[in-house]
Amino acid sequence: MAVAEAHDGEIVSADSRQIYRCMDIGTAKPTRGERARVPHHMIDVADPGERYDVRRYQRDARAALADIAARGRLAVVVGGTGLYVRALLDGLDLDAIPTDPDLRAGLEREAASGADLHARLAALDPEAAARVDPRNVRRLVRYLEASLITGGVSARWRRRDAIPAVKIGLDPPRPWLVARIERRVRDMVDAGVLDEARRIVERGIDPRLPSMSAHGYVHWTAHLRGEIDLERAIALTVRDTKAYSRRQVTWFRRDGAIRWVDPTNVDLVAFVVAALREAA
């Protein structure tokens, strides 16, 4: 927010769950007040009941970047969904990744039966397997589908039309980050995330849809069904978020263009100003 305000900028979200409407608290969306201060893009663009994938994101977010540039403003891309950032800025040629609906359906059935698809992916494409959480069945099935078709998805993901960008990664001390995660999950409960989850359940949203894999919702809904108590739901959400934060670091560390900074002891706005001047 401060960077955008200091540089006549607009924010483009690169969060794969903030794109869904009605999932405000559980995805920690910017508030209405924050969005009134600075224009935000790629938030609330899809219904939780529809499938929204990285290909659609790449198309829509690139259109947002073009619109921002046409108005002479600075685009500030913010978010931690690594594949979305890579598709947007590095220009992954997603059309080069083929699909086979029958193969995918078979893999989904295998996953439902308890088959170890992650081990299978690791044997085919270790690099791809390292990027996928074994519990993310949807992403795991997609990677394995592409790997089986191409013989290794990582090697076949071509890049095109990369967008020049100054890349800055936030690297706070791990204890500070863990404390923030733990506090944020409890703040979500206080803000009404259980009521939000209840409204989504009442809409009959298919739990297998990508929207429902957002951190916490599977545990909030399990609590609402009486399967686990609230403290257990909180603990599981904290666990999943902490694990995801580690995977984010692993993903983004591979990008040598990222300038890392500890936001707990640096004036972040000044750091960004210096990075922009250096890149100019």
Q: Is the dihedral of CA 51, 233, 107, 82 positive or negative?
A: positive
The backbone torsions φ and ψ at residue 123, rounded to the nearest 5 degrees and listed phi first, read -70, -35
For the chain, the structural domain boundaries read 2-94+159-279, 98-156
pTM for the model stands at: 0.79
Segment 7-22, tens digit of pLDDT: 899 999 999 999 999 9
Order of strands, sheet of 40-41, starting from the edge strand that comes earlier in the sequence: 40-41, 9-13, 74-78
pLDDT at 5 over 60: yes
Higher pLDDT, 115 or 174: 174
Per-residue model confidence (pLDDT) at position 90: 87
pLDDT at 153 over 70: no
Q: Does domain 98-156 have CATH number 1.10.760.10?
A: no
Architecture of the domain defined by 2-94+159-279: 3-Layer(aba) Sandwich (3.40)
In this prediction, residues 114-134 reach a mean pLDDT of 84
Distances (CA, A) of 116 to 121, 144, 167, 277: 9, 11, 36, 49
DSSP string, 233-244: HHHHHHHHHHHH
Segment 79-110, tens digit of pLDDT: 989 889 988 998 777 666 667 777 888 898 88
Contact status, residue 18 vs residue 71, Cβ threshold 8 Å = no
Segment 178-218, tens digit of pLDDT: 999 999 999 999 999 999 999 998 998 887 788 888 889 99
